[in-house]
């Protein structure tokens, strides 16, 4: 059964509050609740050979790069390093839930 969505938690080094992100297979869209520290609350994502990358299509820039995260194969509890190119910050990602 194909994966439909994945809920992730993103954090920045230095003790920021976690940012919840829903990654949807449909339309390769992602969303995050308002009021968090991500620059935008929605966009598109793409998968390169190694990383899951959240994009802001309006600004044509990367919002977050989740190193080693693969949408179709990462399991609940999977985690790794994240980078936030607009600010230069780094942190981590973890998978909270998966919907198939």
CA distance 4 to 92: 23
Q: By percentage, how much of the chain surpasses pLDDT 90? A: 89
Residue 16 has pLDDT above 90, yes or no: no
Q: How confident is the model at residue 1 (pLDDT cuts 50, 70, 90)?
A: low
Q: What global pTM score does this model have?
A: 0.94
- pLDDT per residue as tens digits for the range 21-64: 999 999 999 999 999 999 899 999 999 999 999 999 999 899 99
Contact 68, 82 (CB under 8 A): no
Q: Note down the domain range covering 27.
A: 5-99
CA distance 47 to 59: 19
- Domains contained in the chain, number: 1
- pLDDT per residue as tens digits for the range 73-85: 999 999 999 999 9
């Amino acid at each position: 059964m194909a994966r439909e969505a994945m809920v992730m938690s993103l954090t920045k080094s230095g003790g920021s509050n976690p940012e919840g992100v829903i990654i949807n297979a449909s339309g390769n869209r992602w969303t995050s609740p308002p009021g968090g520290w991500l620059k935008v609350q929605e966009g598109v994502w793409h998968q390169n050979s190694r990383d899951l990358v959240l994009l802001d299509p309006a600004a044509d820039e990367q919002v977050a790069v989740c190193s080693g995260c693969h949408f179709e194969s990462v399991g609940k509890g999977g985690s790794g390093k994240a980078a936030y190119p607009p600010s230069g910050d780094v942190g981590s990602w973890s998978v909270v839930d998966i919907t198939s």
